[in-house]
């Protein structure tokens, strides 16, 4: 494969032909901010926060690093005066039309706008003037949609079209009134939206927030544990977000099966884990009513009963139903128990349902 050598902030770097400046910078560990860019989505170069100053063939200009191809002999400055002025101005412009309610925003701590404002020392809106006053959409149990916080990076639009394949949302209107909208600007709940939440997962700010997760924990309070979704047989990777020993939400990570995508059940169906109906103690039915019991008492009762029936009626009077919900290790142990301990092959599970 042919390669390209360019200079970024005075350092030479060689990358495969066809790489963007952003890729080349990543290779050097040079930071370039991005908002609209997402590795799994088509590049659009619309937010312009990633502009860098390029000198090439004697001409100097600002170009978006996320889509501009690296060229042999290119000289790139990622933090020149012009670059910094542009980034600061773009941040000021975004903040001029963005609620400054970071104190209560669920995205606080995991917000690119906030991060970059800090990095480029933009204390707030540099410009006064009109701000949007859209009604916050909060009529579904999954996603809070606050278009006042939207920076129109279009990641959600591309996610819905390119990964989810549904195209429920798109840009609507023009100029300052441009807005991400469903057909006829209906709420998501009245649209074709299936609430996979994949849009929320890629929103770099707080415009699309997972309702449960963002209302129950600050972003820095959660520990993320990567595991596998407990629902259908697809096997999507999920991250359980844990705070104080409780699962407060599910986020997507780059799963081997699912990439960044999840469905509504995988992303929003975690509430059962802490549901008050959960069984927390062994129960023994006495006189038709369940009574709480210790593990010792319960296990010896079960062992005694099963042994008794096995002795009286033979092992084939026993039957075991295993679970397609349990782990491999558990299914293995249960069939081992059935065959080696109970002495029967009467084991099955709901594979046919």
Partner 1 sequence: MTNSIDEIAGADFILAIGTNTTETHPVIALQVKKAVRQGAKLAVIDPRVTKLAELADYHLQLNPGTDCALLNGLANVIIAEELWDKDFVAHRTEDFASFRQWVSGYTPQYVERVTGIPADVIYKLAREYAGAENAAILYTMGLTQHISGTANVHAVANLAMLCGQVGKKHSGVNPLRGQNNVQGACDMGALPDVLTGYQKVTSDEVRAKFARAWKVDTLPASAGLTVGEMMAGTQKGCIKAMYIVGENPVLSDANAGDVKEALQKLDFLVVQDIFLTETARLADVVLPAASFAEKEGTFTNTERRVQKVRKAIAPMGRARADWEIICLLAGAMGYTMNYQSPAEIMDEIASLTPSYGGISHARLEKGSLQWPCPNKDHPGTPVLHKEKFVRGRGKFHRAEYIPPQELPDQEYPLLLCTGRRLYHYHTGTMTLRTGALEKYYPGEYLDVNPIDARKWKLTPGCRVRVISRRGEVELVVRITDTIPPGMVFTSFHFPEVPINNLTNPAQDPIAKIPELKVCSVRLELL
Partner 2 sequence: MKNLAGKYKKIICVCSGGCTSSGSGKVLAGLQAAAAEKGLAGKVLVRPVGCHGFCQQGPIVTVEPEKIFYTRVTEADVPDILEALETNRPVERLLYVDPTSGKPVVTYDQIPFYSRQQKLVLEKCGCINPENIEDYLDQGGYKALKKVLSTMTPQEVVDEVKNSGLRGRGGAGFPTGIKWQGALSAKIKDKRYVICNADEGDPGAFMDRSVLEGDPHSVLEGMAICGFATGSHEGYIYVRAEYPLAIKRLKIAIAQAEEYGLLGDNILNSGFNFHIKIKAGAGAFVCGEGTALMASIEGSRGMPRFKTARSTEKGLWGKPTTLNNVETFANIPVIINKGSRWYSSIGTEKSTGTKIFSLTGKVVNTGLVEVPMGVTLRRIIFDIGGGIQNNKKFKAVQAGGPSGGCIPADYLDLPVDYDSLDEVGAMMGSGGLVVLDETTCMVDLARFFLKFTQQESCGKCTPCREGTKRMLEILTRICEGKGTPKDIDDLERLSRVISSTSLCGLGKSAPNPVLSTLKYFRSEYEAHINDKRCPAGVCSNLLVYTIDAAKCTGCGACARACPAGAISGEKKQPHAIDAGLCIKCGSCLQKCKFGAVVKK
> Which residues between 80 and 99 bind partner 2 (CB under 8 A)?
82, 85-86, 89-90, 93-94, 96-97
- Sheet of 75-77: strand order equals 11-16, 3-8, 75-77, 51-56, 59-64
235 binds partner 1 (CB under 8 A): yes
Print the binding letters for residues 288-327 with partner 1: x by CB under 8 A, - otherwise.
Answer: --x----x--xxxxxx-xxx-x--xx-xxxxxxxxxxxxx
DSSP 338: I
Burial state string for 39-75 with b = 16 or more CB within 10 A and e = fewer than 16: eebebbbbbbbbbbbbebeeeeebbbbbbbebeeebe
Report in angstroms how near the CB of residue 223 gets to partner 2 at its nearest: 34
Place of tokens 């409780």: 246
Q: Which does 64 bind (CB under 5 to 8 A by kind): partner 2, partner 1, none?
A: partner 2
The 10 Å Cβ neighbour count of residue 241 is 23
Are 21 and 63 a contacting pair, CB within 8 Å?
yes
> Which own/partner contact pairs does 218-224 have at CB distance under 8 Å and 24+ positions apart?
218/108, 218/109, 219/106, 219/107, 219/108, 219/109, 219/110, 220/109, 220/110, 222/248, 222/249, 224/251, 224/253
Among left, alpha and beta (phi > 0; psi -120 to 50; other), residue 12 is beta
Contacts of 157 (CB under 8 A, 6+ apart): 169, 170, 171, 180
Could you tell me which of 328, 327, 320 has the C-alpha nearest to residue 349? 320
Question: Stretches 65-73, 115-123, 306-314, 340-348: which one binds partner 2 (CB under 8 A)?
Answer: 65-73
60 binds, among partner 2, partner 1, none (CB under 5 to 8 A by kind): none
Tell me if 253 contacts partner 2 by CB under 8 A.
Answer: no
Q: Which CB atom, from 63 or from 144, has the smaller least distance to partner 2? A: 63
When binding is defined by CB under 8 A, the residue of 9, 28, 44, 194 that contacts partner 2 is 44
Using CB under 8 A, which of the segments 36-44, 87-95, 157-165, 177-185 binds partner 1? 157-165
Minimum CB separation of residue 76 from partner 2 in Å reads: 15
Q: Does 72 bind partner 2 (CB under 8 A)?
A: no
Stretch that binds partner 2, among 167-175, 202-210, 316-324, 332-340 (CB under 8 A): 167-175
Residue 152: CB minimum distance to partner 2, A: 6
Site for partner 2 in 92-151 (CB under 8 A): 93-94, 96-97, 126-130, 151
Nearest to 264 by CA among 243, 248, 250, 274: 250
- Residue closer to partner 2 (CB basis): 177 or 280: 177
Query: Does 341 interact with partner 2 (rule: CB under 8 A)?
Result: no
E strands along 215-265, which residues? 223-228, 237-243, 246-251
- In angstroms, the CA 102 to CA 95 distance is 12
* Rounded Cα–Cα distance for residues 204 and 207 (Å): 8
The C-alpha atoms of residue 6 and residue 55 are separated, in whole angstroms, by 11
Pick 132 or 349: Cβ nearer partner 2:
132
User: CB-wise, 12 or 177, nearer to partner 2?
Assistant: 177
According to the binding rule CB under 8 A, does residue 277 interact with partner 1? yes
112-151 mask for partner 1 (x: CB under 8 A)? Answer: ----------------------------xxx---------
Q: Which does 174 bind (CB under 5 to 8 A by kind): partner 2, partner 1, none?
A: partner 2
Q: Which residues bind partner 2 (CB under 8 A)?
A: 43-49, 51, 61-62, 64, 67-69, 82, 85-86, 89-90, 93-94, 96-97, 126-130, 151-152, 154, 170-171, 173-178
């Amino acid at each position: 494969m042919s390669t390209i050598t360019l200079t970024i902030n005075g350092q030479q770097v060689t990358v495969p032909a066809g790489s963007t400046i952003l890729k080349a910078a990543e290779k050097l560990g040079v930071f370039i901010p991005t908002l609209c860019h997402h590795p799994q989505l088509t590049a659009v170069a619309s937010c312009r926060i990633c502009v860098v100053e390029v000198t090439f063939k004697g001409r100097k200009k600002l170009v978006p690093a996320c889509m501009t191809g690296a060229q042999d002999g290119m000289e790139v400055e990622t933090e020149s005066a012009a670059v910094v002025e542009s980034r600061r101005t773009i941040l000021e412009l975004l903040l001029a039309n963005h609620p400054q309610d970071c104190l209560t925003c669920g995205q606080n701590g995991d917000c690119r706008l906030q991060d970059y404002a800090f990095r480029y020392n933009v204390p707030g809106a540099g410009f006064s003037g009109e701000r949007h006053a859209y009604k916050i959409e909060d009529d579904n149990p999954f996603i809070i949609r606050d278009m006042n916080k939207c920076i129109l990076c279009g990641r959600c639009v591309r996610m819905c079209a390119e990964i989810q394949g549904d195209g429920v949302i798109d840009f609507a209107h023009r100029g300052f009134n441009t807005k991400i909208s469903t057909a006829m600007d209906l709420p998501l709940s009245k649209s074709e939206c299936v609430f996979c939440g994949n849009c929320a997962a890629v929103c770099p700010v707080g415009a699309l927030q997972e309702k449960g997760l963002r209302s129950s924990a600050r972003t820095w309070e959660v520990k993320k544990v990567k595991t596998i979704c407990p629902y259908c047989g697809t096997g999507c990777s999920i991250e359980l977000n844990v705070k104080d020993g409780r699962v407060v939400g599910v986020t997507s990570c780059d799963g081997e099966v699912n990439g960044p995508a999840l469905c509504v059940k995988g992303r929003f169906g975690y509430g059962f884990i802490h549901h008050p109906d959960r069984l927390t103690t062994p129960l023994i039915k006495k006189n038709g009513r369940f009574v709480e019991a210790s593990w010792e008492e319960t296990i010896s009762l079960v062992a005694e009963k099963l042994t008794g029936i096995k002795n009286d009626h033979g092992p084939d009077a026993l039957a075991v139903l295993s679970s397609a919900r349990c782990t491999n290790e558990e299914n293995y142990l249960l069939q081992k128990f059935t065959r080696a301990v109970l002495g029967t092959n009467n084991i099955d599970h709901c594979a046919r349902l």
